[in-house]
C-alpha cells in the first residue's frame, strides 16, 4: 500500500508540475540586504517550524517554508498532509515539497488541527489562515500570491479542494477567515 501511495503521489506531483509550470517562470536569487541564506546542493532553503496561526488561535500551528533560489517572486504551493483528519504530520509531505522546491516553487507545508479535539470547519479555517499568512509574508519571502496552488493527499486533498471551492463563493464557510484572498490558482489532490 505504501508503494501505491508513493506511485500516486508521484503522478500527482507530475501533474501539478505540468499544470502549474506556466505559473513559474525563470529567475535568479538575490538575498535581502544583510540576510544570509544557506543553500544546499538542491538550490533551495527551508525555514522550519514557522508559526502561521495568529496569536490567540486555539492551537499554535506551524509550517515549513521551502524557498527556491531566485530573486523574482516565486509561485507557491500550499501543501497539506493526509491522515484521516486525526493523525500524521507535515513530514509525510517533505519529499514532495523538496521536489517542488527543486523545480522553482515555494512550498508552505502546513500543520492543521485534528479531530476529535477540533471539529469542522476548524481544519478549513486553518488552511484559510495559512493562505492569509502567505499573503502577509509575500514581500518578506518574495512570494507571488497571485500564483498559489494547493497540493493535498487524502484528508489534505479534501481540505485543499474545499478551500479552492469555498474561496470563490459567498459561503458562510468563508466567515471570518476565507474569501477571495484565500483563493487557489490550481489544485492537485489524491488519495487511496
Whether 180 shows a pLDDT value over 90: the answer reads yes
User: What does the pLDDT average to over 158-173?
Assistant: 96
Whats the size of the chain, residue-wise?
Answer: 192
* Secondary structure of the chain as H, E, C letters: CHHHHHHHHHHHHHHHHHHHHHHHCCCCCCCCCCCCCCCCCCCEEEEEEEECCCCCCCCCCEEEEEEECCCCCEEEEEEECCCCCCCCCHHHHHHHHHHHHHCCCEEEEECCCCCCCCCCCHHHHHHHHHHHHHHHHHHHHCEEEEEEEEEEECHHHHHHHHHHHHHCCCCHHHCCCCCHHHCCCEEEEECC
Burial class (CB in 10 A: 0-12, 13-18, 19+), 129: buried
Whether 2 shows a pLDDT value over 90: the answer reads no
Model confidence band, residue 14 (pLDDT cutoffs 50, 70, 90)? low
Model confidence band, residue 192 (pLDDT cutoffs 50, 70, 90)? confident
Q: When comparing pLDDT for 27 and 107, which is higher? A: 107
Residue with cell 532553503: 45
Query: How many CB atoms are located within 10 Å of the residue 132 CB?
Result: 18
The phi-psi region of residue 122 (left if phi > 0; otherwise alpha if psi is between -120 and 50; otherwise beta) is: alpha
User: What does the pLDDT average to over 167-190?
Assistant: 96
Model confidence band, residue 6 (pLDDT cutoffs 50, 70, 90)? low
Give the domains, in start order, of the chain with CATH numbers. Answer: 2-23+43-190 (3.40.50.1820)
pLDDT digits (tens, 9 = 90+) for 96-132: 999 999 999 999 999 999 999 999 999 999 999 999 9
pTM to 2 decimal places: 0.81
Return d(Cα 92, Cα 54) in angstroms, integer.
Answer: 24
Highest mean pLDDT among 4-18, 30-44, 168-182: 168-182
Identify the CA nearest to 160 among candidates 136, 131, 138.
131
Amino acid at each position: 500500500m505504501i508503494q501505491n501511495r508513493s506511485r500516486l503521489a508521484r503522478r500527482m506531483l507530475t501533474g501539478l508540475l505540468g499544470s502549474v509550470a506556466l505559473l513559474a517562470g525563470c529567475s535568479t536569487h538575490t538575498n535581502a540586504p544583510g540576510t544570509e541564506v544557506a543553500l544546499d546542493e538542491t538550490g533551495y532553503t527551508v525555514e522550519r517550524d514557522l508559526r502561521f496561526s495568529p496569536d490567540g488561535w486555539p492551537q499554535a500551528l506551524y509550517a515549513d517554508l521551502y524557498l527556491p533560489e531566485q530573486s523574482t517572486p516565486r509561485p507557491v504551493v500550499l501543501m497539506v498532509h493526509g491522515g484521516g483528519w486525526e493523525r500524521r504530520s507535515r513530514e509525510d509531505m517533505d519529499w514532495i515539497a523538496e521536489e517542488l522546491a527543486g523545480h522553482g516553487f515555494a512550498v508552505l507545508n502546513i500543520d492543521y488541527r485534528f479531530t476529535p479535539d477540533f471539529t469542522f470547519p476548524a481544519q478549513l479555517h486553518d488552511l484559510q489562515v495559512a493562505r492569509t499568512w502567505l499573503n502577509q509574508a509575500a514581500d518578506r519571502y518574495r512570494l507571488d500570491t497571485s500564483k498559489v496552488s494547493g497540493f493535498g493527499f487524502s484528508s489534505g486533498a479534501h481540505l485543499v479542494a474545499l478551500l479552492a471551492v469555498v474561496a470563490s463563493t459567498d459561503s458562510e464557510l468563508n466567515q471570518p477567515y476565507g474569501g477571495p484572498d484565500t483563493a487557489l490558482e490550481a489544485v492537485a489532490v489524491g488519495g487511496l
